[in-house]
Structure 1
Amino acid sequence: MVHNIDGKAQAPRPNLLVVDDNPKNLHSTKRILQELEINIITVESGEDALKAVVNHSFFLILMDVNLPNMSGFEAVTCIHSNDNYKHIPVIFLTAVNKDEIFVKQGYDTGAVDYLIKPISSHILISKVKIFLDLNAAHDEMYRLATTDTLTKLPNRAHFQSYELSVLNSAVRNKSIFAILFLDLDNFKEINDTLGHDAGDILLKSVANNIKDCLRNSDIVARMGGDEFAIILSTITCSEDAGVVAQEILKKINVITKYLDDEIRTTASIGIATYPSCGESCAELNKSADIAMYKAKEARNGFQFYNAEMQKKMLMRLSIVQGLHHAIENNEFELHYQPKVDVKSNVIIGMEALLRWNSAKIGVIGPDKFIPIAEDTGQIITIGNWVLKQAIEQAVLWNKNNAPHLQKSMAVNVSVKQLTSKDFINTLKKNLTSSGLAPSLLELEVTETALMENKEYATTLLNDIHELGVKISIDDFGTGYSSLSYLQKLPIDTIKIDLSFVRAINTDKGTDLIIKAIIDLAHTLGMIVIAEGVENLNQVQFLTQLGCDVFQGYYFGKPKPENRYDAINLTDITNLNSAI
């Protein structure tokens, strides 16, 4: 099978093998069949027929029965005993014996027909045409079964077949080849905003651009969706694959026209080379996939596989599996960090922070498992559990407090949890069943979550605010929103990101940014919380600027609820020593 630069499988003219020990018969057969678009190979013995079958692919064999040394029956028996060649149809030719037993012996060896010499030219041509048509139909079925209908690239099945042949060749020749897995970075967004027709045009454009970067011996296949796989069949060193990957990224990052719109995309590529990244197709594909996943962390780039990635991927898989059972196994726990009023020095509320002590893995930081839960969608179930537990804890803490001493409870809500279809109903249900006043619940949402879909965010936050629940923007200053945009949203509180707080008095520009955030937030009637407050210097600076609420290790580290039960939550005196 020959593969050209566009990845399509192009077979040469079909081969017909004619076996006869009489050169005149061979010449006559070739002359009769010369009108057909086929390549005729002739041999004069059974032994040579076996060699020809090994070296060529045949759609049909015309086999003389009476051959020297090895008969036609013996030759066909040997050919069909090999699984690689048993599918080749054989027509026996004979001039000496028409006996029924003799003919039966031919069919028993695997013949599909029997022609008696002298053979009519018309009959011979008709017989060969039948199998030529069958071969063409088979090739077309194979093409349809192994070709992606949209891009006309090879599909997954074709890729796997070609990969195996390249691997076998590399093993024999002790050569190097590379597997590249490519995934478009923003395909879903393009499909969602411009429609599937635009997505299809982009996929075809990407396919053509990748093909332009490859050699005749290389192949690119569409594996499904916006995923492509590339085989660089022979390379000198792994760096060669990096050069090709860089060229592909450059070629893909161009404008594609769709109606009145211009579409631009980038891609992430993972690279695995044989034999350093694996000695089987499965190992190489897994390595390329792991490397691609790593590349997607930064986007618009490529990444070579290394052993450290394998360790991280295995840890990720362990976390994903562990998260499935963390709630039922009681492995989650909420810790609470106090929020302190700047003017009164009194604790006015708590923020619930999720912690996980896995029975199999051990203690895992939220910075490790929360992003994974986001990616897998598990964050919705986990987030709902956190919301319920935090609300119930707020009720317990407030049940004996006077109205003016009630403490609020802040809960972080992920974008996936926030936009899940049942979130509002879940929120209402928890508030109703617990009896917590909605005004004592504060939902913290990141800037990024708001910016992903401004129109939907506005509607959703208004619905939440109408319940009486407070809304806080977490990590403010790290995203791309503006206070003018936030003015249009029902925002109660802005939390200055701890990266700004840590830079206080070390960077004049940061100090000015903090002052601007506080001044503008107050102008818009919003409360400002500084998170990550860890020393007196930060306290004094933020107090002078008019910050409203502090949160950080200086006032209290996150601790389980039972570490707060024994102290007066209205006073922060010696709070850290008490807990």
Structure 2
Amino acid sequence: MLDLLPVPTAIASVVSGAVVFDTVNIAFRAAGFAAREGRAALLNEIGDQILVFLLSGDTRRRMALRLGDAVDSRHYDVTLARREESAGTPRCIMSLVDQTPEQRTETSLRREMNTDSLTGLPNRTGFGDLVEERVATGDRARYAVLAINLDRFSRVNACMGSLSGDELLISVARRFKGVLRSSDVLARTGGDEFAVLLGLRDGADDALHAATRLQQALIQPFQLSDFTIRVECSIGIALAEDSDAEAEDVIRHAQFAVKRSKRTGQTEVYRPHLFDIVRSQFSIETQLRHALEARQLHLAFQPICDLSNGRISSFEALARWRTAEGENISPVDFIPVAEESGLIVPLGRWAMDEAARTLSDWDRMAGGDCGARMAVNLSAVQLQRDNVEAMFAEVLAQHQLSGHRFTIELTESAFVVDPDRTLRTMLALKEMGAQIAMDDFGTGYSNLAYLQKLPIDKLKIDRSFITGMLADRDKVAIVRAILSLAQALGLRTTAEGIETQELEHTLVALGCAFGQGYFYSRPIDADAAYALLLARNA
């Protein structure tokens, strides 16, 4: 009956403390498991495990068996089932199911899943598995992950097509492979992204030297069709010793570092405190999104005074945020996050609407024009992403205000990103009556050509030039030069950061028209601002 079984099968028993096969079937012999010198070769592989089973109280057990070397191995699913003992001798029947075809198919599929089809390198999944294996060794101090991002690669695809882009990627991979050690692992983890699992012999310096070699590998231009293409890359490094994080965390840290590298233009090594800053910014973004929906923000108003008579000519509307827990979040923290995330568009729309609503309320309380303008900041990001003209017209109509009651303050960066669009927007705003002020003049690009080409009405001199001006001749010279330039171009000027009467008198003597700062008032709420307007302009 045993010979009829379709799989290699044998009956094993314990004789004198050793396992022997009492009976084997034809398939068992055909598979090469027959006895040699009285002992089946198979017992050399699993004899000890069979013995443990026979001496245990178990009735059934399964195990995996691999025979041969890595190149030509065979895989079996082994089942042991206890049989009735004969004369007190423990016995079992063993059957082996050949799973080699399935294993080879699975291995092939896994290899395909973990390999980039274009370059033949490990892909994102395969690279993650390799880093996971390295992490499992527990020797964190001896490896690093490098994330590499090709700069402007998308332009190659856009201008020359995907086939040329693929050719470039293959060539880049070959060059990278050529400057790495045989023990290092290069992977393609995304469209224009590569990664390296790097063994460290001399610590962090190894990673920095490898980054230099990778960048130098791209110095020689690539020849694609009739074009000579120059490619550069940004590199971020994560040292596994920096953290007890898992493999996925180490890879993410390297990707964080490469994003910073794209901004700084140099190889960046991940530092936990920088990541903490980014996590904090992400938290602010989430909270800010909720705050906008829950209307937790408010405006504060700081007066801008006419230096010739001390009267308030306008108020600058400034966004302020107090969380539901009572924490005040500084604009220095949340405005940059709003610009990066795109939340500056709804934030800017809210600020414009709220400033107009406040001005309308003041007019109603005054029984007519309250005598003050409203200055509202417009972000360069909002200028690019929003239909500012339509938004401003809608606000004016909703609150029944004239455009001449508003000054739109733009920083110099707004004029640089897209000068043509900026010019069209400025002209449209001026047609509706608004005035345009260049905010923080002197701290940005300071391209004087903008003062000639763009319809600017006012220059706001940054507080960094005003603070401490009386004790610094250079600052006095700079302020005098700005005021002379503004006068020559017919522009009015506002000095920010006035904190003393002496500063006010000096600026008046130099020819400055308006002033803003703590000498007049800190930013205050709408009711206090209206009371201050009545008191100073009585």
| TM-score exceeds 0.5 | yes
Contact 2:411 2:440 in 1 (8 A): yes
The answer as to 2:468 corresponding to 1:468 is no
Contact 1:249 1:300 in 2 (8 A): no
Contact 1:277 1:306 in 2 (8 A): no
Contact 1:528 1:547 in 2 (8 A): yes
CA distance in 1, matches of 2:98, 2:112: 30
Q: Name the counterpart of 2:378.
A: 413
Residue 359 (structure 2) aligned to one of 383, 394, 398 = 394
Q: Name the counterpart of 2:99.
A: 110
CA distance in 2, matches of 1:479, 1:392: 32
1:328-380 Cα deviation digits (max 9, x unpaired): 33321111111011212110001111111123582111111111111111111
Q: Which moved more, 1:555-564 or 1:333-342?
A: 555-564
Amino acid at match of 2:414: A
Contact 1:295 1:301 in 2 (8 A): yes
- Superposed displacement of residue 236, structure 1: 3.2
CA distance in 2, matches of 1:489, 1:558: 30
Q: Secondary structure, in 3 states, of the residue corresponding to 1:345?
A: coil
Change (3 A) 1:359 1:216: farther
1:409-468 Cα deviation digits (max 9, x unpaired): 111111221122433222211111011110111211111121012222222222222222
Contact 1:505 1:511 in 2 (8 A): yes
Q: Secondary structure, in 3 states, of the residue corresponding to 1:64?
A: coil
The answer as to 2:134 corresponding to 1:166 is yes
- Superposed displacement of residue 142, structure 1: 4.1
Residue correspondence of structure 1 range 264-343 to structure 2 within 5 A: 267=234, 269-292=235-258, 295=261, 299-343=264-308
CA distance in 2, matches of 1:261, 1:536: 64
CA distance in 2, matches of 1:192, 1:524: 47
Change (3 A) 1:264 1:338: farther
Change (3 A) 1:232 1:499: same
Q: Secondary structure, in 3 states, of the residue corresponding to 1:442?
A: strand
Contact 1:347 1:570 in 2 (8 A): no
Q: Which moved more, 1:64-73 or 1:407-416?
A: 64-73
Change (3 A) 1:367 1:459: same
The answer as to 2:176 corresponding to 1:176 is no
Q: Name the counterpart of 2:445.
A: 480
Contact 1:274 1:284 in 2 (8 A): yes
Q: Name the counterpart of 1:223.
A: 189
Residue 245 (structure 1) aligned to one of 188, 201, 211 = 211
Amino acid at match of 1:355: R
Q: Secondary structure, in 3 states, of the residue corresponding to 1:495?
A: strand
The answer as to 2:115 corresponding to 1:146 is yes
Amino acid at match of 1:281: A
Amino acid at match of 2:116: T
Residue correspondence of structure 1 range 445-524 to structure 2 within 5 A: 445-524=410-489
1:221-264 Cα deviation digits (max 9, x unpaired): 34335544332133432343234335545666887789889867
- Superposed displacement of residue 322, structure 1: 0.4
Contact 2:200 2:207 in 1 (8 A): no
CA distance in 2, matches of 1:401, 1:204: 73
Change (3 A) 1:318 1:245: same
Contact 2:219 2:230 in 1 (8 A): no
Amino acid at match of 2:447: S
- Superposed displacement of residue 392, structure 1: 0.8
Change (3 A) 1:438 1:218: same
Q: Secondary structure, in 3 states, of the residue corresponding to 2:242?
A: coil
Q: Secondary structure, in 3 states, of the residue corresponding to 2:320?
A: strand
CA distance in 2, matches of 1:474, 1:257: 47
CA distance in 2, matches of 1:510, 1:185: 40
Residue 498 (structure 2) aligned to one of 533, 540, 549 = 533
CA distance in 1, matches of 2:446, 2:311: 31
Q: Secondary structure, in 3 states, of the residue corresponding to 1:301?
A: coil
Contact 1:335 1:352 in 2 (8 A): yes
The answer as to 2:532 corresponding to 1:567 is yes
CA distance in 2, matches of 1:522, 1:195: 52
TM-score computed with the length of structure 2 as normaliser: 0.74
Change (3 A) 1:110 1:148: closer
Change (3 A) 1:523 1:254: farther
Q: Which moved more, 1:486-495 or 1:511-520?
A: 511-520
- Superposed displacement of residue 405, structure 1: 5.6
- Superposed displacement of residue 302, structure 1: 3.5
Q: Name the counterpart of 2:34.
A: 66
Q: Secondary structure, in 3 states, of the residue corresponding to 1:499?
A: helix
Q: Name the counterpart of 1:122.
A: none
CA distance in 2, matches of 1:320, 1:558: 24
CA distance in 1, matches of 2:317, 2:242: 46
CA distance in 2, matches of 1:384, 1:191: 38
Q: Name the counterpart of 1:46.
A: none
Q: Which moved more, 1:202-211 or 1:399-408?
A: 202-211
Residue ranges of structure 1 left out of the alignment (5+ in a row): 1-61, 92-104, 114-130, 574-579
Contact 2:150 2:232 in 1 (8 A): yes
Contact 2:240 2:250 in 1 (8 A): yes
1:98-144 Cα deviation digits (max 9, x unpaired): xxxxxxx989443669xxxxxxxxxxxxxxxxx99x899x48x9458
1:529-557 Cα deviation digits (max 9, x unpaired): 11122223432332222111111112111
Contact 1:180 1:271 in 2 (8 A): yes
- Superposed displacement of residue 562, structure 1: 2.1
Residue ranges of structure 2 left out of the alignment (5+ in a row): 1-29, 47-61, 77-93
Change (3 A) 1:207 1:174: closer
Q: Name the counterpart of 1:367.
A: 332
CA distance in 2, matches of 1:425, 1:436: 15
Change (3 A) 1:506 1:358: same
CA distance in 1, matches of 2:359, 2:179: 61
Change (3 A) 1:405 1:90: closer
Q: Name the counterpart of 1:116.
A: none
Change (3 A) 1:360 1:488: same
The answer as to 2:382 corresponding to 1:382 is no
Amino acid at match of 1:177: Y
Change (3 A) 1:311 1:229: same
